[in-house]
Structure 1
Amino acid sequence: MYYSYKPYTLAHVDYQRILREFPDSLWIAAYRDYMPTTKPDYGYFPSMDGVAIWQYTSAFGLSQGLDGNIDLLGVTDNGYSKQPVTPITPAPSKPAQSTAATDADYAQTGVFKPSATVNIRTGAGTGYASVGSYSPGESVIYDHVYIRGTYVWARYLSYSGRYHYVALGVNGGESYGSR
Structure 2
Amino acid sequence: MNKHKLKALILMLSAIFMAFLIVNVTSQAARMDMVDVSNNNGYMSTAEYVSMRNEFGVKAVTVKISEGGTYKDPYAASNIANVQAAGLYVNGYHFAHYATKAQAIAEADFAGRTAKVAGLPVGAVLATDVESQEANNQSKATNDRNNQAFMKEIQKFGYRPDIYTSGSWANNKMTIKGKTSWVAAYPYVVSGKNWYSTNHAWQWSSTAKFRISYGGFDVSQLNDNYYTAGQKSKVKPTNKGAVKANNRKANVKKAHKQAAKKATFKVVKYNQRGVFYPNRTLAVRYTDSDKVRQVATYYKGEGVIYNAVIIEHDYVWARYTRSNGLYGFIKLGVTNGHDYGKRVTGQPVSHTYYTVKSGDSWWSIAQRNGLSMTTLASQNGKTIYTTIYPGQRLVVR
Shorter-chain TM-score category? 0.3 to 0.5
More helix by share: 2
* TM-score, length of structure 2 as denominator length: 0.21
Choose 1 or 2 for highest CA Rg. Answer: 2
* TM-score, length of structure 1 as denominator length: 0.45
Query: Which structure is higher in RCO with an 8 Å CA cutoff and minimum separation 6?
Result: 1
